[in-house]
Structure 1
């Protein structure tokens, strides 16, 4: 059995987890692979087996956190496929539950410099297809159609 697996299980996941904690504690400016390695109890070279540099680890943390949030909202929509109003209500509950159960994610997602802004150009949303906001937007638009809301109001009401 190789040493990394024997001593640390899944080092990549441990680096992501501890990297998130470090980002929340010290911010991006003071973040380093050495500090994350120390938190994991491995040599300062060990993270390089999984990430080429600190930016790659930070990008993976961002991806993992937002993907988990996206999946938690998407799962709710699957329970109420034909009821967009209930999707929105249940997404609100899932949102709060997710943040309560994952306070480190909340801090990282909304109280740090690592947020994903909603991009609007020419009166349209961009980059929202496979995102948590996209899940909400799609359910909202389905609900707006159901209640015959003027399509020109969709963006304003979604925001």
Structure 2
């Protein structure tokens, strides 16, 4: 795969979504979970950022993942209900995936190959709410630790939205 736009993923309802539909947009790709200590802050701030910047070409792509202490145990329907009702998430939520290991989603293999975690941490996703920032041209420009609140990424999002 040469670009993020070469991937097709499943949305939370099981339909294929070609990521090429997001060409020209700044993306924040996040592995989410509903029963994590980081859930409230992340879901709230992701919704706030999305609402603030969606009309300027910003998208949040949320990928539920149950690999970290089973903190996303629900069905896709339950996950959708949780995110959309409790946190008013209007951004796209995708099918539950693995972000590490033998069943790792090809998209995450690609993201990690573009922005590793550094020699100390390695490339593996360490926890829920790891974040990858993708510019308008599809380049993976940054990777943020699970503990980095979405609000702390806002300046970078603005920078890439304002880039030509």
Q: If you compute each CA radius of gyration, which structure gives the higher value, 1 or 2? A: 1
Greater helix content:
1
Question: Normalization by structure 1: what TM-score?
Answer: 0.27
Greater strand content:
2
